[in-house]
């Protein structure tokens, strides 16, 4: 049987998809897979990501193709998949998660503490921009778009002194590039960072059964907690929240941090819950954030971004 697999045409997306196919072939010898690349709004809109007030800019067109039976399933970076995907679809599989850390890439091997005064650091993430400013307020943070290799080349060419990327992307592309790993304490990641989401039709039992063979239970538990938190506070590219769940020894711990516009104020909550009820833990942390001021922080971010977009 041949399965049609949808993904974006970037090198990273294709690398992720080929890895998924390789894992599926190990579990389903004899099955064949054909990749269909699909262009998304995120591929054609060159604006800084935080200025695009729309969810699912890297997955909407691909998941539409799944729903319309043009392809059998889609492979996404999980953090790109919004919570409100069509009810006709399901995240059928979460394979083993890669590192959730961010990394700093510089031409001369500096780390964030030793990088020169007033260095220019590139990132497409509001979360990372605020996190950098908290540690190095002198640094100039500028938006950067393009695939991973394009961003790295901007450092090599001297257009940026450094860039910040997800470690998982470098790993999946097999890039041999000098970098310093940023701690999740100072740089709590975007919910779902480092994980993949494989989406198919909710009524496609045969495909779901096949995909479940490469599901990683620990990874699924962790991202369920993170996504439940994200759903509750409505975080995303336009409102930076860092969240990381860790399942270990029968327990599940979720650490969440939200930041003010200027980075001077932050709210951090760490809570442990039932490993069998990860979404409950995410919702509980979301409720605590609401009680201690997340609404005010969110409002300030919206006002700031609205003013920025008017310029």
**Strand 241-248 with 32-37, pairing:** unpaired
What does each C-alpha distance from 21 to 36, 55, 94, 169, 198 come to in angstroms? 13, 27, 13, 17, 11
Which residue of the set 63, 72, 80, 204 is catalytic?
A: 80
* C-alpha distance across the termini of the chain, in Å: 54
What does each C-alpha distance from 281 to 29, 50, 222, 251, 277 come to in angstroms? 38, 27, 10, 11, 7
Separation CA 86–CA 60 (nearest Å):
10
Which residues make Cβ contacts (< 8 Å) with residue 92, sequence separation at least 6? 73, 198, 199, 200, 207, 208, 211, 212
Separation CA 152–CA 73 (nearest Å):
31
Separation CA 128–CA 112 (nearest Å):
12
**Strand 2-7 with 73-77, pairing:** parallel
What does each C-alpha distance from 284 to 21, 225, 231, 265 come to in angstroms? 36, 10, 12, 22
Strand partners, 243: 256
Other beta carbons within 10 angstroms of residue 213's beta carbon come to 12
Separation CA 258–CA 236 (nearest Å):
11
User: What element of type H or E holds 217?
Assistant: helix 217-233
Q: Would residue 80 show up in a list of annotated catalytic residues for this protein?
A: yes
Residues in the chain: 311
Question: Which sequence positions are flagged as catalytic?
Answer: 80
């Amino acid at each position: 049987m041949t399965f049609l697999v949808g993904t974006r045409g970037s090198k990273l997306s294709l690398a992720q998809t080929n890895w998924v196919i390789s894992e599926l072939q190990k579990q389903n010898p004899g099955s064949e897979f054909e990749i269909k690349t699909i262009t998304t709004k995120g591929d054609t809109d060159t604006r800084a990501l935080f200025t695009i007030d729309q969810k699912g800019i890297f997955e909407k067109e691909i998941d539409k193709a799944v729903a319309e039976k043009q392809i059998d399933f889609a492979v996404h970076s999980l953090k790109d998949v919004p919570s409100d995907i069509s009810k006709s679809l399901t995240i059928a599989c979460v394979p083993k998660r890669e590192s959730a850390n961010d990394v700093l890439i510089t031409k001369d091997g500096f780390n964030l503490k030793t990088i020169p005064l007033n260095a220019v650091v590139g990132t497409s993430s509001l979360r990372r921009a605020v996190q950098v400013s908290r540690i190095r307020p002198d640094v100039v943070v500028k938006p950067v778009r393009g695939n991973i290799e394009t961003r790295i080349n901007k450092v090599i060419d001297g257009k940026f002194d450094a860039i910040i990327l997800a470690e998982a992307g470098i790993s999946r592309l097999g890039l041999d590039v000098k970098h310093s790993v940023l701690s999740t304490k100072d740089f709590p990641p975007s919910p779902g960072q480092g994980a993949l989401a494989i989406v198919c039709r909710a009524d496609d039992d045969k495909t779901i059964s096949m995909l479940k063979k490469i599901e990683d239970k620990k990874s699924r538990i962790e991202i369920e907690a993170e996504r439940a938190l994200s759903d509750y506070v409505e975080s995303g590219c336009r409102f930076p929240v860092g969240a990381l769940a860790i399942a270990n020894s029968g327990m599940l711990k979720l650490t969440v941090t939200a930041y003010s516009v200027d980075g001077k104020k932050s709210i951090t909550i760490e809570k442990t819950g039932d490993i069998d009820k990860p979404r409950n833990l995410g919702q509980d942390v979301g409720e605590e954030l609401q009680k201690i001021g997340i609404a005010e922080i969110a409002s300030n971010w919206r006002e700031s971004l609205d003013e920025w977009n008017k310029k």
